[in-house]
Amino acid sequence: MKVKGNAGEHLTTNAPYGYMKDPDNSKHWIPDREAADVVYEIGLYVMDGFGPSQIARKLRERKILTPAAYYESKGIPCNVKKQGDPYGWDNTTIAGIMDRWREYLGHTVNFKTTKKSYKSKKKIKNPESEWVIFENTHEPIWTEAIAEAVKQARQSRRRPTKMGEMGMFSGMMYCADCGSILYQCRATGFRKDQEYYICSGYRKGKQVCGTPHSIRTVILEKLILQNLREIVSFARSHENRFVQMVMDMDVKERNKGLAKKRKLLSEGEKRITELDIIFKRLYEDNISGKLTDERFHKLSTDYEAEQTGLQTRAAILREEIEEVEGKSANVDRFLSVVRQYTDIPELTPRILHEFVEKIVIHAATDPHSKINRRQEVDIYYKGIGILEMFKVFDSRQK
Given the rule CB under 5 A, which residues bind Zn ion? Answer: 175, 177-178, 180, 199, 201, 209, 213
Residue closer to Zn ion by CB (options 244, 365) is: 365
Cα angle, residue 45 at apex, residues 39 and 50 outer, rounded to 5°: 130
Residue closer to Zn ion by CB (options 77, 205) is: 205
Longest dimension (CA), the chain: 95
3-class SS string, the chain:
CHHHHHCCCCCCCCCCCCEEEECCEEEEEEECHHHHHHHHHHHHHHHCCCCHHHHHHHHHHCCCCCHHHHHHHHCCCCCCCCCCCCCCCCHHHHHHHHCCHHHHCCCEEECCEEECCCCCCCEEECCHHHCEEECCCCCCCCCHHHHHHHHHHHHCCCCCCCCCCCCCCCCCEEECCCCCEEEEECCHHHCHHHCEEEEHHHHHCCCCCCCCCEEEHHHHHHHHHHHHHHHHHHHHHCHHHHHHHHHHHHHHHHHHHHHHHHHHHHHHHHHHHHHHHHHHHHHHHHHHCCCCHHHHHHHHHHHHHHHHHHHHHHHHHHHHHHHHHHCCCCHHHHHHHHHHCCCCCCCCHHHHHHHEEEEEECCCECCCCCCCCEEEEEEEECCCECCHHHCEEECCCC
Residue 17 near residue 31, CB atoms below 8 Å:
no
In the complex, least distance from residue 149 CB atom to Zn ion, rounded to whole angstroms: 23
Residue closer to Zn ion by CB (options 203, 373) is: 203
In the complex, least distance from residue 352 CB atom to Zn ion, rounded to whole angstroms: 22
Residues 6+ apart with CB under 8 A from 90: 53, 56
Residue closer to Zn ion by CB (options 175, 356) is: 175
Residue closer to Zn ion by CB (options 29, 202) is: 202
Residue closer to Zn ion by CB (options 112, 362) is: 362
Residue closer to Zn ion by CB (options 180, 227) is: 180
In the complex, least distance from residue 377 CB atom to Zn ion, rounded to whole angstroms: 14
In the complex, least distance from residue 177 CB atom to Zn ion, rounded to whole angstroms: 5
Residue closer to Zn ion by CB (options 68, 215) is: 215
In the complex, least distance from residue 202 CB atom to Zn ion, rounded to whole angstroms: 5
Side chain identity at residue 31, one-letter code:
P
In the complex, least distance from residue 213 CB atom to Zn ion, rounded to whole angstroms: 5
Residues 6+ apart with CB under 8 A from 100: 16
In the complex, least distance from residue 380 CB atom to Zn ion, rounded to whole angstroms: 17
Residue closer to Zn ion by CB (options 180, 217) is: 180
In the complex, least distance from residue 182 CB atom to Zn ion, rounded to whole angstroms: 8
Instruction: Give dist(CA 60, CA 253) in Å, integer.
Output: 49
In the complex, least distance from residue 212 CB atom to Zn ion, rounded to whole angstroms: 8
In the complex, least distance from residue 196 CB atom to Zn ion, rounded to whole angstroms: 14
Residue closer to Zn ion by CB (options 93, 180) is: 180
Instruction: Give dist(CA 197, CA 268) in Å, integer.
Output: 44
